[in-house]
Copies of this chain bind each other. A is one copy, B any other.
Amino acid sequence: MPALDPILADIDRDLDTSLERLFAFLRIPSISTDPAYAAECRRAAEWLRADLSAIGFNASLRETGGHPVVLAHLPKPGAPHVLFYGHYDVQPVDPLDLWETPPFEPRLVTLPDGRRAISARGACDDKGQVMTFIEACRAWQAMQGELPVGVTILIEGAEENGSKHLPEWVAANRDELKADLALVCDTGMWDSATPAITTSLRGLAYFEVFVRCADRDLHSGLFGGAAANPIHVLSRIIADLHDDQGRVTLPGFYDAVREPPAEVLERWRALNLTPENFLGPIGLSRSAGERDRMLIEQVQSRPTCDANGIIGGYTGEGTKTVIAGQASAKISFRLVEDQDPEAVAASFSDFVRARVPEDCSVEIVTHKGSRALALPFDMPALGAARHALEAEWGVAPVTIGSGGSIPIVGDFKRSLGLDTLLIGFGLDDDRVHSPNEKYDLQSFHKGMRSWARILAALAG
Contact = CB atoms under 8 A, between A and B. Distances in A.
Contact of A220 (B227, B308, B357): B308
A227 B434 contact: no
Contacts of A320: 91-92, 308-309, 330, 433
Interface stretch (A73-81, A277-285, A389-397, A449-457): A277-285
B309 A228 contact: no
Interface in A220-240: 220-229, 231-232, 234-240
A61 interface: no
A52 interface: no
Contact of A223 (B213, B282, B305): B282
Interface stretch (A43-51, A166-174, A398-406): A398-406
A418 B322 CA distance: 30
Interface string A181-225: 000000010000000000000101010100001111111111111
A330 B315 CA distance: 8
Contact of A288 (B222, B229, B324, B404): B229
Interface residues of A, number: 99
B232 A307 contact: yes
A441 B329 CA distance: 39
A310 B313 contact: yes
Given A216-B282, A295-B226, A359-B286, A231 B431 contact: no
A216 B308 contact: no
A131 interface: no
A323 interface: yes
Interface stretch (A3-11, A113-121, A296-304, A408-416): A296-304
Contacts of A431: 216-217
A367 B330 contact: no
B288 A314 contact: no
Interface of A: 33-34, 91-92, 94, 161-162, 188, 202, 204, 206, 208, 213-229, 231-232, 234-242, 275, 278-279, 282-290, 295, 298-299, 302, 304-324, 327, 329-330, 332, 334, 357-360, 367-368, 402-405, 428-429, 431-435
15 contacts: A33-B316, A214-B283, A216-B283, A216-B429, A223-B403, A224-B305, A235-B236, A235-B310, A239-B240, A283-B359, A308-B319, A308-B321, A309-B315, A321-B332, A321-B404
Given A218-B434, A234-B235, 8 more contacts: A213-B284, A222-B299, A225-B302, A226-B275, A227-B287, A229-B307, A285-B358, A311-B311
3 A-B pairs with the lowest CB-CB distances in the bound complex, closest first: A221-B404, A221-B403, A215-B283
